[in-house]
């Protein structure tokens, strides 16, 4: 019996879920664009996590300041997409433009 074809996005998502490291930062990075939006994701990316607090690196201090004011909304958007047992407790934004996301 043959299986029905799947949408490419669905198939890739399933592969990503199996291959991603089993930690909170990997989950946050996987959901960042959906939670933050394309424009924000192009300027800022989750870089580190410690004790539930995720540090987001921003291309400029202006972006870091703006996103600090939107931290509550971004945190809510992320946590809606994460399993209940894996929630982000806080977001910290820093201007660190030298390193970019691995794309």
Supply the pLDDT for residue 1: 74
pLDDT, residue 20, reads 59
Nearest 10 degrees: Cα torsion 37, 38, 43, 45: 60
Per the structure, the count of domains in the chain is 1
Other Cβ atoms closer than 10 A to 93 = 22
CATH number of the domain that 38 lies in?
3.30.300.180
pLDDT (tens, 9 = 90+) of the chain, 103 residues, equals 777 877 777 777 777 666 656 789 999 999 999 999 999 999 999 999 999 999 999 999 999 999 999 999 999 999 999 989 889 999 999 998 665 554 4
- Please give the backbone phi and psi of residue 47, each rounded to the nearest 5 degrees, phi first: -115, -40
Within a domain: 16 = no
Domain-embedded: residue 64: yes
Within a domain: 10: no
Query: Would 5 be classed as within a structural domain?
Result: no
Distance (Å, whole) CA 29 – CA 55: 11
Q: Return the pLDDT at 32.
A: 97
Check residue 23 and give its pLDDT.
86
In a domain, 11, yes or no: no
| Strand arrangement of the beta sheet that strand 53-58 belongs to | 44-50, 53-58, 90-95
Helices (H), the chain: 8-19, 24-36, 38-43, 61-69, 71-81
Tell me, yes or no, whether 87 lies in a domain: yes
Q: What is the pLDDT at residue 103?
A: 45
In Å, what is the CA distance from 85 to each residue of 65, 93, 98?
29, 23, 33
In a domain, 12, yes or no: no
Parent domain of 29: 22-95
Contact 56, 46 (CB under 8 A): yes
């Amino acid at each position: 019996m043959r299986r029905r074809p799947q949408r490419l996005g669905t198939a890739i998502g399933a592969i990503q879920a199996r291959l991603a490291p089993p930690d909170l930062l990997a989950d946050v990075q996987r959901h960042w664009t959906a939670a933050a939006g394309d424009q924000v994701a192009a300027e800022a990316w989750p870089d580190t996590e410690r004790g539930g607090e995720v540090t987001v690196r921003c291309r400029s201090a202006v972006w870091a300041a703006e996103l600090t004011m939107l931290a509550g909304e971004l945190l809510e958007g992320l946590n809606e997409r994460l399993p209940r047992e894996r929630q982000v407790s806080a977001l910290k934004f820093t201007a660190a433009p030298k390193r970019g996301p691995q794309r």
